[in-house]
Amino acid sequence: MPSLGADMDEGTVIEWLVKPGDTVHKGDPVAVVDTAKAAVEVETFTGGTIQQILVPIGQRVQVGTPLATIDSGVSSAMHLTEPADVQLEGQQSRSEAAQSEQSPAEPVRSLPEPLLAQATRAAAQAQSEPPRAEPAAQVLEAADGRMKASPYARKLARSLGLDLTAVPATGQHGLITSGDVRRYADRLGTVPAGEPAPATTPPSMAPPAEAPPPVAAEPAPRHVVQQAAQREAIARLMTRSKQEIPHYYLTTTVDLGAAIDWLAQQNRSLPVADRLVPTALLLKATALSAQQHPELNGYWTDGAFQPAAQVHLGVAISLRGGGLVAPAIHDAAGLPVRELMAGLRDLVARARAGRLRRTELTDATITVTNLGDQGVESVYGVIYPPQVALVGVGRVVRRPWAVDGLLGVRPCATLTLAADHRATDGFTGGRFLATIDRLLQKPEEL
C-alpha cells in the first residue's frame, strides 16, 4: 500500500485490474486504491507475471503493507510496494538491481524522503497489527454522489452508454467493478466484438454468487459518509500544519495587462479547446520562480530543509462531491506554456474522475491554490506538509494602475505566499513574489 500523501496512514483496495497469471509491464495500473480523499490507480514498478494477490477487495490496510507479488524473472518475489522508479524526462531512474535487493515490506522509494519515514513506521506497525475491514457504510457512495464504482468501471460504462445505477454489483459492500459492467453489457448485447474478458477476482476473495449485497437498515444520506472522511483527513493535516509550521504571509498585486494581451494574441490561432487562460502563465511563472529560489521548493524533514531537484507544481483541485486534492504537474518549470495548459486540463479531468496516479499525489514540491474563479480576491493558504510554501492566486480585477507615470485601468491579480519561517524569511519570500511579477511582464519569454 503506497503512501499517497502526508495525511495517509492506510487505504482500501477497491478494485484489482489484474489477476494471478496476468503479464504486466512497468507503469501499468494494477489496482485502484481508495483513500479518504480520492480513488487512485496504483502502477507496478516492474514488468513480470502477477503471482499472488495478497489484499482482497474492500480490505483496509496500513501504508507499507504488501498488496501482491510479481515474478519479474529477476527474483523469486517482488512486492508491488517495493521501490517504484518513475522515469521522468531528464531524470535518471535508480538501478533495477537495487530494487531487487529491498525488503518486501519496505515502502515506495520514489516518495520524497519525509514520506518515506512515515511509510516505514506504518509498515512496521502493519506487521504487528491485523488489517481492518472497510466499514460497509464508507463504500456505498462515490465522492460525487454516483453509485460506488471503480474508475475503470465508470469509464467502461460511459464507453458502452450504460447507466451504472442499473448494473448489479458483486463487489464487496456493493462496489460495481469493471467485470459487473461487462457482464451487464453482455446480457444487453452491447459488448463490442473482441472485448477482453473481465479480470476475475481470485476464488478466495470472491463473494458467494447467490449472496445478496448487504442492505443497511437506514442508508446514510448521499455524500455524507465520504465527505466526513475527507473532512477528517483534511482536518488532521491542516491541524498538523498549523501546529508544527510557523507560517508567515506576504502579498503583492501584479499587473497582468501584458500577460492577457499576449494570451489574446496566441489564442487567435488556437482551437477553442486548446486556448490558454491566465492560470497557465501564473503556474509557469510560479514554477520558474521556485526554480530560481530553491529555498522555497522542497521539504522540511528531520529538523532541516531538503531542496528538491525539480519543480513538481502541486495544483489544488476541488472535487465535484466535495473535498480537495493537490496533485502535481511534474517538471512544471521545464514545460512550454501550451504543454502546461494541456497538463492542467488533463490533471483536473482525471482528479474529478478518480483516475489520479500515485506519483501525482506524492511528488509535489510547492503548491498553488487558485480561487479566482470563485470571486476571491486574495488567498491566505495553509502549507501542505512537508512542503514549505504555498502560493495563493486571486481573481483578475480591473483597477486603477499607474504605468510609466500615466494612470489607467489595468487587469490585476493579488498573489500571496504562505511560507515556513523555519526554512526561509520574508526577504527570500519577497524576492520570490517579485520574480513572479517580473516574469509575467514578459510572457513571451515564458
| Residue 424 pLDDT > 90 | yes
Could you give the residue range(s) of every CATH 3.30.559.10 domain in the chain?
247-445
Q: Which residue has the higher pLDDT, 437 or 77?
A: 437
SS3 80: coil
pLDDT tens by residue, 100-110: 333 343 333 34
CB 119 within 8 A of CB 3: yes
329-351 pLDDT tens trace? 999 999 999 999 999 999 998 88
Please give the grid coordinates belonging to residue 293. 529560489
Q: What is the pLDDT of residue 356?
A: 84
Of the listed ranges 155-159, 240-244, 280-284, 383-387, the one predicted with least confidence: 155-159
pLDDT given at position 237:
84
C-alpha 189/C-alpha 46 separation (Å) is 37
* Distance between CA atoms of residues 330 and 99, nearest Å: 23
pLDDT of residue 82: 43
Q: Give the separation between CA 205 and CA 31, rounded to whole angstroms.
A: 15
**pLDDT grade, residue 12 (50/70/90)?**
confident
Confidence check: pLDDT of 373 > 80: yes
What's 402's DSSP letter? E
Question: Is it the case that residue 97 has pLDDT exceeding 90?
Answer: no
Is pLDDT of 197 > 70? no
CB atoms within 10 A of CB 75: 15
C-beta separation of 367 from 390 below 8 A: yes
Residue 409 has a pLDDT of 95
Contact predicate 174/150, CB 8 Å: no
As a CATH number, domain 1-140+146-221 is 2.40.50.100
d(CA 27, CA 132) in angstroms, rounded, equals 28
For 39-43, 134-138, 143-147, which range has the lowest pLDDT when averaged over its residues? 134-138
The mean pLDDT of the chain is 77
The winner for highest mean pLDDT among 16-25, 85-94, 165-174 is 16-25
User: What cell does 271 get?
Assistant: 482551437
Q: Can you tell me whether residue 143 is helix, strand or coil?
A: coil
The model's pLDDT over 254-282, given as tens digits with 9 standing for 90+, comes to 999 999 999 999 999 999 889 999 999 99
Strands 328-329 and 313-315: antiparallel
Q: Do strands 68-71 and 397-403 pair parallel, antiparallel, or not at all (unpaired)? A: unpaired
Q: Is pLDDT at 319 greater than 90 in this prediction?
A: no
Nearest to 44 by CA among 62, 65, 17: 17
Residues shown for the chain:
446
Mean pLDDT of 186-199: 50
Kindly report the backbone phi and psi dihedral angles of residue 178, in degrees, each rounded to the nearest multiple of 5, phi listed first. -65, -30
Please check whether residue 63 is in contact with residue 89, taking contact to mean a CB–CB distance below 8 angstroms. Answer: no
Q: Is 371 exposed, middle or buried (0-12, 13-18, 19+ CB in 10 A)?
A: middle
- Reported as a single tens digit per residue, the pLDDT across 58-84 is 888 888 889 999 988 764 444 554 433
- In the chain, which residues fall in CATH 2.40.50.100? 1-140+146-221
**Fold of the domain built from segment(s) 247-445:** Chloramphenicol Acetyltransferase (3.30.559)
**Do the Cβ atoms of 77 and 85 come closer than 8 Å?**
no
Between helices 337-352 and 278-292, what is the axis angle to 10°? 110
Q: What is the pLDDT of residues 199-256, one digit of tens each?
A: 443 433 344 444 445 444 444 444 455 566 667 778 888 898 999 999 999 999 999 9
